[in-house]
Each structure stands twice: as structure tokens, then as C-alpha cells.
Structure 1
Amino acid sequence: MLSRIKDLATTIAPRLIEIRRHIHSHPELSGQEYQTAAFVAGVLSSSGLHVQEGVGKTGVIGELQGTGEDKRILAIRTDMDALPIQERSGLEFASRIEGIMHACGHDVHTTVGLGTAMILAQIAEEISGKVRFLFQPAEEIAQGASWMVADGAMDQVSGILGVHVFPSIPAGSIGVRYGALTAAADDLEIIIMGESGHGARPHEAIDAIWIASQVITTLQQAISRTQNPLRPVVLSIGKINGGRA
């Protein structure tokens, strides 16, 4: 079976390269993956999978039923959204959308999910249970997973596999880890209310920008002194706005 999978992977590799480059060229932001979802649904349908669209807003589910009597369902989850970043790679398949690119590898993830579905569909007679492919939207804003769960994407699932590219792992190798690998994402918003004044007389104002800089620095220091270093915590302040003059 393994040798057959390898042969199938080699056969469809050129098609997967085309798919990945198409997705990379047409990135969509979180919750706006309409064209990506339609493309994914088309590939899944052409491979013979039962497809559900609009799961968790713009998510897609593809199900492959094996031939055995095993009632368990294995889910394979990948994500589809891109980031609000300008691509300047100069590649022929670079993003065609101004200010948006697949900078986190979700174009690869989607392609891996589709490739896995395409291969398993050709060896369905050797699969005893059901495989459910989850193509999740809005991973970058930490919303898409809960959207899909609310729409029943995880109903009756016995186990799930997630995937993410990892640049430090050599091509052709796979890293496996049980439990947490990177970090859970939560949104944190802090609003600092200052009071305007003249730059030459800062003591007469409340400088919100200076306060914000202290807050950011102190938060990082607080983590190192309040949390167990054997259980890492990561805090990233991703955006700061302040001042109009």
C-alpha cells in the first residue's frame, strides 16, 4: 500500500504544483476565501468525494467513505486563508492581489489536503472507515475553527490530524508531535487614553505613546517573572496605533 501511495504521489505531483501555484497567485483574507473554497470544492468533487460548502462560513468539507465496516471517522484539517502582506518575491506565480499574500504557507496546506484526498480516493477500497477532509477558513484571526465546529464539522470524529509547514525541517521529512506545538491564539486589545499637549511641555499632557511603550515592555518582563519557564507563554503585540500629529 505504501509503495502504491508513493507511485500515486509521484504521478499527481505536477498537478499539485499547479494547484499550489494557482492558490498562491489568488490569496484571500480570513473569512473571504470564496474563490479558494470553490476551487477546493471542485477538486474534491472531481476526485469523487462528497462535498459540503459553506461550512463555518467559507469552509469546505470533503468526505471519503471506505469499503470496510469501521464506523470511525478520521479528520484531516488544513487551512486556506492568506495574510494582509505585500508580496515582492518576483515569482511568476506571485500574488496577483495587491496587499495580500500566502506568507504563512496555507497555500501549501490546502494543496497537501487536496493531494491527500486525491490519493486516498484512488485507494478507497483499502480504507476501512471514513476520512473527513476539513478545509478551514480564517485561521489567521483565530475564528475559523470555532465556526466549523459550530456547523458540525467535528461531529462523530474519532481523531484528527493537523498539518503545518515548518521551514527548519528538510524537504521530504515529516515532523510529528503530540499535544501543543506552537501557540493558541487569543486577541488582546489595550486602549490607553492620553491627553494632548505641546511637545515642549510634556508635563502638562498625558503621553499615551510613552505609556504604551512602557506597557509593551513591562508585559514582556512580567511573563518572564510570573509564568513557569517550563511551560512557555508567548505574548506578541502585533499592532500599535497612536497620535495624529
Structure 2
Amino acid sequence: MNINQLKENTKKIENWLIDVRRDFHQNPELGTEEYRTHDRICQYLDEMGIQHKTLFKTGVIADIKGEDESITVALRGDIDALPITDEKSVGYASKNKGICHACGHDAHAAIVLGVARYFYEIGEKPPFNIRLIFQPAEETVGGAKPMIEEGALEGVDVVYGLHVDETLNVGQIGIKYGAMNASSDTLKVLIEGESCHGAYPSRGVDALLISAHVIVALQSIVSRNLDARESGVITFGTINGGTQGNIIANKVLLTGTLRTLDPAVREKMKKRIKEIVETLPLAFGGKGKVDIEPGYTALINHDKSVNTIKESVAQLFGKENIYEKKLANMGVEDFAYFIEEREGAFFTLGVRNKEKNIVVQAHNGSFDIDEKALANGVMMQVLNIYNSK
């Protein structure tokens, strides 16, 4: 592909991209409530004559036919915002009180639309079929899995996704081979004992004391049951139990999370958590049970697709702007479900610009992006399509 022509054609739609992104940014909506966002996406697609349909209430998929109809490349952009107050003093600040696109999903949606606009403007078919996926609820219940169940990946051969990255400068692209994001599970541990007067603890069973031992024992799973080269994190964020300072607690509820990068490690840790919670309290005369609620699966990139992205970066921005991440992110990303079903990869798009003071981290009310990154994202995804041979 002619890279200079790609850059020239994308430059022509840059102002349109910025307008679309700012429109989404001014009108953010929470997961599963993205009704206006859904309608605006459909409106943009209608203007370009692109057929589309709604999945999972507020999600949208759309198809563009390519020269070679035997291959379909999917591009995913999430569309939901966060329950955070927008603290920026800009003309495109959020109009919806307490809701803000503080994680860049406005940019993600604009970029996917931008790919459609690119081919619409040049009046040419893409080399392969394109499936555009606008996914709701990434930040909440996870819209990827329901969309897949409703057919979002039918006929798709490979899928690419991206996320804005405030740690990388505009023009840099982050890639990662293998595990890029962790899986997560919610832990609810109930410890039961027997109440009695605090002056005579021997007459009861102290659920609070048992809980302390359980917490310490569970933390030993990482240090003593996992290979030192494997990754796992158990975190408890709440401990609730007891009614008064002079009464031995009869029940304690612990809530937390389990995060891992490997499916086998995930199962091993879940097994050990269950064993410890159910057996250790018995030594103190109490009982324990755990509810492990499955969350997102680990995001594990396919090497072939990472190589495609790497090739695109080198062609567009030069090899020096490839940032190969050595460590995985222990946060979650439900794009994982797409590449669990199909070949594909996730990458990050540099949006940082220190000269413009665009340096604030995501999930902060002052978060913003250098909007030059929008065109970069479109060019990356267009080139990924061409390079998906």
C-alpha cells in the first residue's frame, strides 16, 4: 500500500474525526445505557450507506464488502463512559453530570467510524471485508461476550482492537506478545464462628480471628503454590463482621478479587482458594465457604496478529516508534473474548503530549488525548486490514 497516499487521505478526514470524537465526549453514557451513542453511530453509518444492526441493546455491528470477500477483518471499538465528573475546561467537556469519557472510548468509537469514513471518501473497496464492532459496557458488565453470543463474530477471520495509551507519546504504538491483560474473578468469603462475650473468648469461636488467618494463608498461594515465574494477585478490599467491640464476631464477610494471566494458573489458584477457605477454619472450630464469581478472561494476543500490527507501525511511523511491552497489565479488558474465539490482537495508541500538558492518566476527570492520535488510529487499522494477508 502507498503509505503517503494513506496519510494524505486520512488527513482529509481528520477534522471530521475530531468532531465525531468531541460529540461523543460531550455526550457520554454509562454501560448498557449508550442509547444516544448507539443512535449517532447508526446515523454516521447511514450517511455512508453502510448496513448495520443492533446487538446487545446498544451495540452495533456493520459490514463493508471488500475486493476479496473470502476474508473478513473485524475492528472493535468500545463506546461506554465512566461515572466520573469531567473536570476539564474545554469546549467539548461532558454535558452529562457525573459521567465522563475518562478512558478514551469516545476515541475508540471515532476511530472505527473513521475507518469506514476513509473508504467512503476514497470511493474504493477495502482489500477484504470489514466488520465494524461498536461494543457497549466494557467498563461494567462486559459487552463483548453477549455481542459474540448474538453473532458479532460470525464470518470473521481476524479481529483487531486498540486502546488509547496516556503513557506513550503520539506516534508511538504499544504491542505485546502473549498475555496482555489479566483475567479477573470476584471473591466472596464467608467465615462463620460463634458469638460470646469478649471477656470469655474461649466460650465462642472468633470468626474475625479465623478471617485473619485465612487472609494470610490465601496470600501464601502466590509465594508457595505458584511457580515464581507465574503471575497471580489476590486482593481483599473489604472485611465486614461483628456488631460491637466486646462481642466475639460470629460472621465475617471478605470481598476481593483474583487476577491471573494464564488460564491454568487461574484454575490452580481457584482450587487452592477453595481448599484453604473450607478447611483452615475447621482448625479453629469454625466454618468457611467461598463464592468465586467469574469475571473477564485473560487477554492473550496471537503472535501472527501482533506481527501484522508491528509491520503496520514500522511502515507508518518507523520501527523506533514500536514500544514492545515486557510486562502484562493486571487490569482487565473484555476484548479478550473476541480473540479467545478468533485470531487477533490488541494494541495501544499513544495519546500523550507533554508540550500540550496532555499527561493525565485514564480514569481521572482531567483525562484527555492529543487528537492527532485519532488519525493515527485510523491509519493503523486501515493498514492492519491491508496487511492481514
Q: Per-residue displacement from partner, 1:99-157 (whole Å, max 9, x unpaired)?
A: 22222221121111111221133346352321001011111235211110111010111
Query: Offset of 1:218 from its aligned partner?
Result: 5.9
SS of the equivalent of 2:32 reads coil
SS of the equivalent of 1:163 reads strand
Match of 2:154 in 1: 155
Query: Offset of 1:227 from its aligned partner?
Result: 2.7
Match of 2:29 in 1: 28
Match of 1:75 in 2: 74
Match of 1:47 in 2: 48
SS of the equivalent of 2:175 reads coil
Q: Judging changes above 3 Å, is the alpha-carbon distance between structure 1 residues 219 and 120 closer, same or farther for their aligned structure 2 residues?
A: farther
Q: Which has the larger radius of gyration?
A: 2
Q: Per-residue displacement from partner, 1:180-223 (whole Å, max 9, x unpaired)?
A: 3122344444456688999x979689676x87787667655533
Q: Judging changes above 3 Å, is the alpha-carbon distance between structure 1 residues 222 and 46 closer, same or farther for their aligned structure 2 residues?
A: same
- Letter aligned with residue 81 of structure 2: A
Q: Which deviates more from structure 2 when the two are superposed, residues 96-105 or residues 219-228?
A: 219-228
- Letter aligned with residue 47 of structure 1: M
Match of 2:62 in 1: 62
Give the conservation status (yes or no) of the 8 Å contact 1:5–1:119: no
Is it true that 1:106 corresponds to 2:124 in the alignment? Answer: no
- Work out the CA distance in 2 between the residues paired with 1:48 and 1:166: 32
Q: Per-residue displacement from partner, 1:31-58 (whole Å, max 9, x unpaired)?
A: 11111111111112212321112x1221
Match of 1:84 in 2: 83
Q: Per-residue displacement from partner, 1:5-51 (whole Å, max 9, x unpaired)?
A: 21122122122112212212222111111111111111122123211
SS of the equivalent of 1:43 reads helix
SS of the equivalent of 1:76 reads strand
Q: Judging changes above 3 Å, is the alpha-carbon distance between structure 1 residues 45 and 15 closer, same or farther for their aligned structure 2 residues?
A: same
- Work out the CA distance in 1 between the residues paired with 2:109 and 2:78: 6
- Work out the CA distance in 1 between the residues paired with 2:57 and 2:50: 20
- Letter aligned with residue 113 of structure 1: V
- Work out the CA distance in 2 between the residues paired with 1:49 and 1:78: 17
SS of the equivalent of 2:62 reads strand
Q: Judging changes above 3 Å, is the alpha-carbon distance between structure 1 residues 171 and 20 closer, same or farther for their aligned structure 2 residues?
A: same
**Structure 1-normalised TM-score?**
0.81
- Work out the CA distance in 2 between the residues paired with 1:202 and 1:74: 69
SS of the equivalent of 1:148 reads helix
Structure with greater strand percent: 2
- Letter aligned with residue 99 of structure 2: I
RMSD: 3.1
Match of 1:167 in 2: 166
Is it true that 1:119 corresponds to 2:118 in the alignment? Answer: yes
- Work out the CA distance in 1 between the residues paired with 2:165 and 2:64: 28
- Letter aligned with residue 60 of structure 1: V
SS of the equivalent of 2:124 reads helix
- Letter aligned with residue 225 of structure 2: T
Q: Which deviates more from structure 2 when the two are superposed, residues 220-229 or residues 5-14?
A: 220-229
SS of the equivalent of 1:164 reads strand
Q: Percent identity?
A: 35
Is it true that 1:12 corresponds to 2:44 in the alignment? Answer: no
- Letter aligned with residue 102 of structure 1: H
User: How many pairs are equivalent?
Assistant: 240
- Work out the CA distance in 1 between the residues paired with 2:189 and 2:86: 30
Q: Judging changes above 3 Å, is the alpha-carbon distance between structure 1 residues 149 and 87 closer, same or farther for their aligned structure 2 residues?
A: same
- Work out the CA distance in 1 between the residues paired with 2:95 and 2:172: 31
SS of the equivalent of 1:222 reads helix
Query: Offset of 1:64 from its aligned partner?
Result: 0.8
Match of 2:268 in 1: none
Give the conservation status (yes or no) of the 8 Å contact 2:68–2:129: no
Query: Offset of 1:91 from its aligned partner?
Result: 3.2
- Work out the CA distance in 2 between the residues paired with 1:212 and 1:20: 48
Give the conservation status (yes or no) of the 8 Å contact 2:77–2:112: yes
Q: Judging changes above 3 Å, is the alpha-carbon distance between structure 1 residues 95 and 2 closer, same or farther for their aligned structure 2 residues?
A: same
Give the conservation status (yes or no) of the 8 Å contact 2:31–2:141: no
- Work out the CA distance in 1 between the residues paired with 2:186 and 2:127: 41
Q: List alignment gaps of at least 5 residues for structure 2.
A: 245-389
Give the conservation status (yes or no) of the 8 Å contact 1:64–1:124: no
Q: Which deviates more from structure 2 when the two are superposed, residues 161-170 or residues 120-129?
A: 120-129
- Work out the CA distance in 2 between the residues paired with 1:111 and 1:186: 31
Match of 2:338 in 1: none
SS of the equivalent of 1:181 reads strand
